[in-house]
Amino acid sequence: MTKGLRAEGSLSQPGAEDLAAVAAEMFKRLGLEEGASVGTILRHAEREYGKPITLQALPDDSLGPLTGLFRDTPDRGYISFRQSDPLSYQLHCIFHELGHAVFRHSDCELLRQGGFNLSEAGGLGPDLLNARARGLVRDPSELVAEEFAYTLMRWLLKSRLDREEDVFG
């Protein structure tokens, strides 16, 4: 996830319905049941991705301008996020990167072309400190991943009535 992604990649974008449909279809494929924990969501996503996924909480300076990062390697995927961000924001960033994993997006083309080091303890190396990845915000894969994150979070945040509230409420 890059800075400012949400501002430009929100549902107000043209083609938002397509994005929502794609994200909803993937969410359905994960087959999550009510009450699923983050660990359970991660396991379902790993099944779709085909490899284990490791979450990494990084110091802020490791990610430079990014709020989250997904790296695909031959034997596993890595999702990195900032340690200091509020937990709910971390979760959003994790779900965004999880979107890249389940949709099997290759990792950041722009960063690779720029010659940034993507292997350093899950971070991007000092070369990225001045990088601006804003070019990615209109990348369809970023928009799909962002919509996937919202789809997951909306599902988690939905109001659920207890049975007694359903019957006596």
**Region of 22-30, 90-98, 99-107, 110-118 interacting with other proteins (CB under 8 A):** 90-98
- Applying CB under 8 A, does 99 fall inside the site for other proteins? no
Contact 169, 161 (CB under 8 A): yes
Instruction: Select the residue interacting with other proteins from 73, 83, 106, 117 (CB under 8 A).
Output: 83
Task: Please enumerate in sequence order all residues whose Cβ is within 8 A of that of 84, keeping only pairs 6 or more positions apart, or say none.
Answer: 59, 60
Interface residue with other proteins, options 17, 33, 39, 75 (CB under 8 A): 39
What's the rounded Cα separation, in Å, for the pair 96 and 141? Answer: 10
- Among 54, 110, 127, 141, the residue binding other proteins under the rule CB under 8 A is 54
| Minimal distance, residue 28 CB to other proteins, in Å | 19
For residue 117, how many other CB atoms are within 10 A of its CB? Answer: 12
Min CB(162)–other proteins separation in Å: 7
* Residue position matching structure tokens 């993507």: 118
Alpha-carbon 63 to chain mean position: 15
The residue within the footprint of other proteins, chosen from 23, 26, 91, 128 (CB under 8 A), is 91
Rounded Cα gap, residues 82 and 71, in angstroms: 15
List 62, 105, 111, 144, residue binding other proteins (CB under 8 A) = 62
